[in-house]
Structure 1
């Protein structure tokens, strides 16, 4: 194209139907270098285009403009322009150039982080993900950026709208690692430790040929959350890569030592282990979680008592759980009863605690609905896995690889069956 003016005229004229948009796309591709060379003067031309009607052309101009340096006084106008574009653009048109759309959104993310207004990027990036996705099962490269902004702005609940999706399609492995790592951190922030463990587990057990920093940091948090939520760190499942099994513990020795001390149930030993490595925990930004591990040991020791005794005095609980006073023991027991972590009653007169069995009978309407929804989800997951398995088994690349690796057999390779065995 000879000029930006001529290109804008073509965008206005050729954005009406799919055939014309396809032709326009070819023109825009040819003009990429020219647009980038004129990045600083492109902003006024955007005002001549409607982001909802001329989405593809608008995207090319906006991406070229954002590729150049932005002055401080231009940042505010740029952010508003991107937000308006994301909200109103046509999903069909921007999916013709997903890399351009992703580039604009990442530039937008960088700007809100640089200006320290991460919260301004949360809603726009969530909209951008939905427009870029072909289905809710598709993990885009914008997922990790969105979750990062949720973390920085402490809008943890906003991240759940994305984290609750079941993901089956991933473009880049790094996106999956970051998505699950940030997802784990968001669930930690909401104290949804069970969900946090699921996310972090996915990072630790994901296929990898070489160890990466994301997996190492995820494993550190995985150890801490496992201790807080379950009181122990589970062994690596069989499907964990050999790389992770061989190397993760070597890079996280202070956390392994912490888990070993926790297993003894001795508060003083755990406290000493924490003090020994406190600078390391602080440098990893995990000191808050480490303190929760320390606090959870009291609860874990009290839970152990429920497996042995039917009744116990608050004084005895304080001694067994290594608490300073019966009053402290009472506060811990009350909190655990309230959180549903133990089932007990406290007799205020004699200071005795009676431990009970779980009263859940699994026959209420709410429980039946919960079980039914879980069954339905498992059935859907099983169906999806069968479909993926069938697709892979028909994939030419997979069949070629298996054909090379597997020994081939022909009928001639086997001994003939003696005739007498064929007689009835």
Structure 2
């Protein structure tokens, strides 16, 4: 009911409302993860407009050509007042829903939004929690320690690495390919994973370690016996039957493009033959790429349209109008600064804007 109400009021779900947060929170508590996807798959571009902007942009909610930003305002009653913690929680909870559905790419996007939140000096505990999950999801999606988004401040990255040291250490061990050391670190810091409610993710990291190692070997070898595969992929010995069973599961699940064939090995182990990309038809791949390009094109069109709305709103803001008035006064005075000695009007406006962002 809540999801349908959100989409009925705003089919684009472009304006973040308090109902968004309520929806994802309830879906997490009820473990009804897929119910939130129609809203989570929409991109958020705006917050409810401030009261001083609302009177000039008011619009009827039933108008077909009206942007949801014009009627979902700070005084419309469609949303309660939002704080920056609400913004962080929405994307953190959304990332957790995608993690529960094993949609790692989407989870990285949502967690990255939280991790890269602009901040002045300190970071929120919500951001630290998101970074810990970011490290683990990066291992599950890409098999490596992913760097935070480029817009993340350097001092914020250092804080993350300091507060999430066990997670960073686990990721570095994963990259080195030492399974025995990886299991040792998992067991040593088990209390930490459980306290952070991340033990399930850590367990999946251990499970995906072998499959990642085997996939890497496929880029180097055309075929390997299971015994040689164990030697190449794992630094610690593993029973051949266990390894063969694991490889079979990867092949049947479609996670590994390979085939198993019997050999005359006295131990009865099979040989793994990696399948080259050239054996797969090109047409389905090209159609998939074409579909992705169309989706990206539609996303860019929506993004450009919403950016134009944001630019218009900023142009009508008090800060922008004040800056224009100062510029006109400066031009009328022949380029002489009309501000008091030791003050510059432009610098003051920039400081005010940065203060609002923090």
Asked whether 1:199 is paired with 2:136, we answer: no
**Root-mean-square deviation (Å):** 3.0
Unaligned runs of 5+ in 1: 1-122, 414-424
Mapping of residues 4-43 of structure 1, within 5 Å:
none
| Structure 2 length-normalised TM | 0.71
- Quote the Cα distance in structure 1 between the aligned partners of 2:304 and 2:38: 24
Asked whether 1:363 is paired with 2:283, we answer: yes
- 2:45·2:306 contact (CA, 8 Å) conserved in 1? no
Q: 1:356, CA displacement in angstroms?
A: 2.2
Asked whether 1:176 is paired with 2:87, we answer: yes
Task: Point out the more displaced range, 312-321 or 168-177.
Answer: 168-177
2:204 aligned to 283, 289, 292, which one?
292
Q: 1:340, CA displacement in angstroms?
A: 3.6
Mapping of residues 250-265 of structure 1, within 5 Å:
250-265=162-177
- Quote the Cα distance in structure 1 between the aligned partners of 2:321 and 2:153: 24
2:147 aligned to 202, 211, 235, which one?
235
- Quote the Cα distance in structure 1 between the aligned partners of 2:276 and 2:35: 37
1:337 aligned to 251, 269, 272, which one?
251
Report Cα offsets for 1:207-227 as digits up to 9, x if no partner: 233311111111111111111
2:304 aligned to 371, 383, 394, which one?
383
Mapping of residues 21-420 of structure 1, within 5 Å:
123=1, 125-130=2-7, 133=10, 135-171=12-48, 172=82, 173-209=84-120, 210-242=122-154, 244-322=156-234, 324-350=238-264, 351-358=270-277, 360-364=280-284, 366-367=287-288, 370-384=291-305, 386-388=307-309, 390-391=311-312, 394-399=315-320
Tell me: higher relative CO, structure 1 or 2? Use CA pairs within 8 A at least 6 residues apart: 2
Q: 1:179 to 1:349 in 2, by over 3 A?
A: same
- Quote the Cα distance in structure 2 between the aligned partners of 1:263 and 1:280: 21
Report Cα offsets for 1:304-359 as digits up to 9, x if no partner: 21122111101111222336122222233233334443311211235211112235
Report Cα offsets for 1:163-206 as digits up to 9, x if no partner: 11111112433222111111111111111111111111111112
- 2:315·2:321 contact (CA, 8 Å) conserved in 1? no
Q: 1:383, CA displacement in angstroms?
A: 2.3
- 1:227·1:259 contact (CA, 8 Å) conserved in 2? yes
Q: How many residues align?
A: 289
- 1:211·1:243 contact (CA, 8 Å) conserved in 2? no
| Structure 1 length-normalised TM | 0.61
- 1:236·1:245 contact (CA, 8 Å) conserved in 2? yes
Q: Which has the larger radius of gyration?
A: 1
Q: 1:161 to 1:199 in 2, by over 3 A?
A: same
The corresponding residue for 1:23 is: none
- 1:177·1:215 contact (CA, 8 Å) conserved in 2? yes
